[in-house]
Amino acid sequence: MTTKGKTYFNWSGGKDSALALYHAQRMGLAPDLLLTSVNASFDRISMHGVRRELLERQAQHIGLPLETIDVPEGLTMPLYNDIMSRTVSGLRERGYTDTVFGDIFLEDLRAYREEQLRPYGIMAHFPIWGRDTRELLTEFLDLGFKTILVCIKSELLDRSFAGRVIDRDFIKDLPANVDPCGENGEFHTFVYDGPIFRSPVPFEVGEVVYREYDRPKDDAQPERQMGFWFCDLVAK
């Protein structure tokens, strides 16, 4: 596959991103930049809660430059769209014509991404789109990737899953209503080793904390708030 110009990768630090980057490199897309949204108030990856320092170490061990989009706490959709518009416009001016995402099957999200990029003439690629998530996770492990759960949705998974390293037993232990790749937001991970890494990212497991957040307005659950367990990771 050939592209018109340069390619950047929308990097979350998690397993789907890692596997998508692996496949993108083999498709000839050759991303030369990782782009990640960071919560400016906490200096951590948005949603995942991973410290910026570990994100930077991760990029160094992969061997690709990293750029972050610092977003405020309590971000509204109009403000998010404005921030991303300015970011994408700047990337287009620098010669980027293609970008890669690690999404698997959320049709609305894919359509939103493509719609937002269309005015800038940037083509979105989805290397692992539409694949069976159980097969994806098995492939992820077969390739030698290693990842740890850093955020879990408390109504679907109990505290014991926070800080757990994904292995074969993990797949067996997942409740039937949880996607094997957490594609519906059930959990998020931090990848620290695998075929895209020059060497493993060293870290220590820190404390596990519980946080609650207001649900999105379109969430059908009766409870006003939703809870998450976060496992803190500390760079060594």
Q: What is the mean pLDDT of the chain?
A: 94
User: What's residue 74's pLDDT?
Assistant: 80
Quick one: which of 14, 228, 18, 13 has its CA closest to 143?
Answer: 18
Q: Does residue 232 surpass a pLDDT of 70?
A: yes
Residue ranges of domains in the chain, CATH in brackets: 6-125 (3.40.50.620), 149-235 (3.90.1490)
pLDDT in tens, 144-180: 999 999 999 999 999 999 999 999 999 999 999 999 9
pLDDT in tens, 172-222: 999 999 999 999 999 999 999 999 999 999 999 999 999 998 766 666 565
Q: Does residue 223 surpass a pLDDT of 80?
A: no
User: What's residue 167's pLDDT?
Assistant: 96
* Residue 122, Cβ density class (10 Å: 0-12 exposed, 13-18 middle, ≥19 buried): buried
User: What's residue 69's pLDDT?
Assistant: 96
User: What's residue 221's pLDDT?
Assistant: 63
pLDDT in tens, 68-102: 999 998 888 899 999 999 999 999 999 999 999 99
**Percent of the chain topping pLDDT 90:** 88
Quick one: which of 48, 46, 45 has its CA closest to 56?
Answer: 45
Q: What DSSP designation does 63 have? A: T
Q: Does residue 29 surpass a pLDDT of 80?
A: yes
Q: What is the pTM of this model?
A: 0.93
* Helix (H/G/I), strand (E/B), else coil: 127: coil
Which has the higher per-residue pLDDT, 54 or 224? 54
User: What's residue 199's pLDDT?
Assistant: 97
State the Cα–Cα distance between residues 147 and 15, nearest whole angstrom. Answer: 7
Average pLDDT estimate for 33-59: 95
Quick one: which of 6, 18, 12, 64 has its CA closest to 38?
Answer: 12
